[in-house]
Amino acid sequence: MSDEPTETSALDPARAAEMLAAGTAEIVDVRQDFEWEASRIAGAKHIPLETLPSRAAELPRDRPVIFQCRTGARSGMATAAFLDAGFDAYNLEGGLEAWVAEGLEVEPEGAAVASARPDNT
Protein backbone atom coordinates (compact mmCIF):
# COMPACT_ATOMS: atom_id res chain seq x y z
CA MET A 1 0.00 0.00 0.00
CA SER A 2 1.14 3.52 -0.76
CA ASP A 3 1.93 5.97 2.03
CA GLU A 4 -0.14 8.57 0.17
CA PRO A 5 -3.55 9.14 1.75
CA THR A 6 -6.54 8.24 -0.37
CA GLU A 7 -9.18 10.77 -1.27
CA THR A 8 -11.57 9.10 1.15
CA SER A 9 -9.07 9.28 4.01
CA ALA A 10 -8.41 13.03 3.62
CA LEU A 11 -10.54 15.59 5.43
CA ASP A 12 -10.52 19.26 4.61
CA PRO A 13 -10.03 21.57 7.60
CA ALA A 14 -13.66 22.73 7.71
CA ARG A 15 -15.02 19.16 7.89
CA ALA A 16 -12.40 18.18 10.48
CA ALA A 17 -13.34 21.23 12.57
CA GLU A 18 -17.02 20.23 12.40
CA MET A 19 -16.24 16.71 13.59
CA LEU A 20 -14.06 17.99 16.43
CA ALA A 21 -16.66 20.54 17.52
CA ALA A 22 -19.32 17.81 17.56
CA GLY A 23 -17.03 15.56 19.61
CA THR A 24 -17.31 12.76 17.06
CA ALA A 25 -13.58 12.47 16.34
CA GLU A 26 -10.22 12.74 18.04
CA ILE A 27 -7.33 14.68 16.51
CA VAL A 28 -3.75 13.51 16.91
CA ASP A 29 -0.85 15.87 16.24
CA VAL A 30 2.16 13.85 15.04
CA ARG A 31 4.61 16.77 14.87
CA GLN A 32 7.80 17.21 16.88
CA ASP A 33 7.76 18.74 20.38
CA PHE A 34 9.03 22.16 19.22
CA GLU A 35 6.24 22.34 16.62
CA TRP A 36 3.60 21.39 19.20
CA GLU A 37 4.89 24.00 21.62
CA ALA A 38 4.67 26.73 18.95
CA SER A 39 1.01 26.11 18.04
CA ARG A 40 -1.61 23.41 18.08
CA ILE A 41 -5.28 22.71 17.50
CA ALA A 42 -7.27 22.95 20.74
CA GLY A 43 -8.03 19.52 22.13
CA ALA A 44 -5.42 17.72 20.03
CA LYS A 45 -3.51 14.80 21.50
CA HIS A 46 0.24 15.11 20.91
CA ILE A 47 1.92 11.87 19.85
CA PRO A 48 5.08 12.46 17.78
CA LEU A 49 5.19 10.27 14.67
CA GLU A 50 8.17 8.23 15.85
CA THR A 51 6.35 7.24 19.07
CA LEU A 52 3.00 6.55 17.45
CA PRO A 53 3.43 2.76 16.99
CA SER A 54 4.18 2.24 20.68
CA ARG A 55 1.26 4.47 21.73
CA ALA A 56 -1.42 3.14 19.39
CA ALA A 57 -3.39 1.71 22.32
CA GLU A 58 -4.08 5.30 23.44
CA LEU A 59 -6.22 5.92 20.35
CA PRO A 60 -9.93 5.16 20.17
CA ARG A 61 -11.23 2.40 17.93
CA ASP A 62 -14.87 3.42 18.37
CA ARG A 63 -14.69 6.78 16.59
CA PRO A 64 -12.65 8.47 13.87
CA VAL A 65 -9.07 9.55 14.48
CA ILE A 66 -7.80 12.53 12.48
CA PHE A 67 -4.02 12.70 12.13
CA GLN A 68 -2.42 16.10 11.63
CA CYS A 69 1.05 17.55 11.02
CA ARG A 70 2.28 20.79 9.45
CA THR A 71 1.45 20.03 5.80
CA GLY A 72 -0.23 16.61 5.80
CA ALA A 73 2.77 14.50 4.71
CA ARG A 74 3.72 12.91 8.04
CA SER A 75 0.11 12.59 9.11
CA GLY A 76 -0.60 10.94 5.75
CA MET A 77 1.86 8.19 6.64
CA ALA A 78 0.19 7.76 10.04
CA THR A 79 -3.25 7.65 8.41
CA ALA A 80 -2.20 4.94 5.96
CA ALA A 81 -0.69 2.80 8.72
CA PHE A 82 -3.70 3.14 11.00
CA LEU A 83 -6.15 2.44 8.17
CA ASP A 84 -4.18 -0.77 7.53
CA ALA A 85 -4.51 -1.60 11.24
CA GLY A 86 -8.30 -1.26 11.09
CA PHE A 87 -8.75 2.22 12.55
CA ASP A 88 -11.24 4.74 11.19
CA ALA A 89 -8.37 7.09 10.33
CA TYR A 90 -8.24 10.36 8.41
CA ASN A 91 -5.56 12.82 7.36
CA LEU A 92 -6.08 16.55 7.86
CA GLU A 93 -5.66 17.69 4.27
CA GLY A 94 -2.95 20.36 4.07
CA GLY A 95 -2.15 19.98 7.76
CA LEU A 96 -1.96 22.80 10.25
CA GLU A 97 -0.96 25.22 7.50
CA ALA A 98 -4.31 24.63 5.74
CA TRP A 99 -6.16 24.82 9.06
CA VAL A 100 -4.71 28.27 9.75
CA ALA A 101 -5.22 29.39 6.13
CA GLU A 102 -8.94 28.57 6.54
CA GLY A 103 -9.06 30.97 9.49
CA LEU A 104 -9.46 28.23 12.08
CA GLU A 105 -7.96 28.89 15.48
CA VAL A 106 -4.83 27.46 17.07
CA GLU A 107 -3.44 27.65 20.58
CA PRO A 108 -1.96 29.77 21.97
CA GLU A 109 -3.94 32.66 20.51
CA GLY A 110 -2.03 34.42 17.73
CA ALA A 111 0.56 31.64 17.41
CA ALA A 112 2.23 30.83 14.10
CA VAL A 113 2.78 27.41 12.57
CA ALA A 114 6.34 26.28 13.31
CA SER A 115 8.61 25.45 10.42
CA ALA A 116 9.57 21.84 9.85
CA ARG A 117 12.98 22.31 11.47
CA PRO A 118 13.81 24.20 14.66
CA ASP A 119 16.78 25.94 12.98
CA ASN A 120 14.61 27.50 10.24
CA THR A 121 13.72 31.14 10.76
Query: In whole numbers, what is the pLDDT of the chain averaged over residues?
Result: 90
Give yes or no for residue 121 having a pLDDT over 90. no
3-state helix, strand, coil in the chain (%, to 5): 40, 15, 45
Angle CA(48)–CA(49)–CA(54) in degrees, nearest 5? 90
69 catalytically annotated: yes
Which CATH superfamily is 7-101 part of?
Rhodanese-like domain (3.40.250.10)
What is the predicted pLDDT for the residue at 77? 95
Q: Which of 65, 69, 106, 114 is labelled catalytic?
A: 69
Residues 68-114 have pLDDT tens digits of 999 999 999 999 999 999 999 999 999 999 999 999 999 998 888 88
pLDDT digits over 18-60, tens only?
999 999 999 999 999 999 999 999 999 999 999 999 999 999 9
Q: pTM of the predicted model, to two decimals?
A: 0.88
User: Residue 2's pLDDT is what?
Assistant: 44
* Burial of 56: CB neighbours in 10 Å, binned 0-12, 13-18, 19+: middle
Residue ranges per domain, the chain?
A: 7-101
Please check the confidence at residue 15 and state whether its pLDDT lies above 50.
yes
Residues 6+ apart with CB under 8 A from 73: 95
Work out the percent of the chain whose per-residue pLDDT is above 70.
88
* pLDDT score of 37: 94
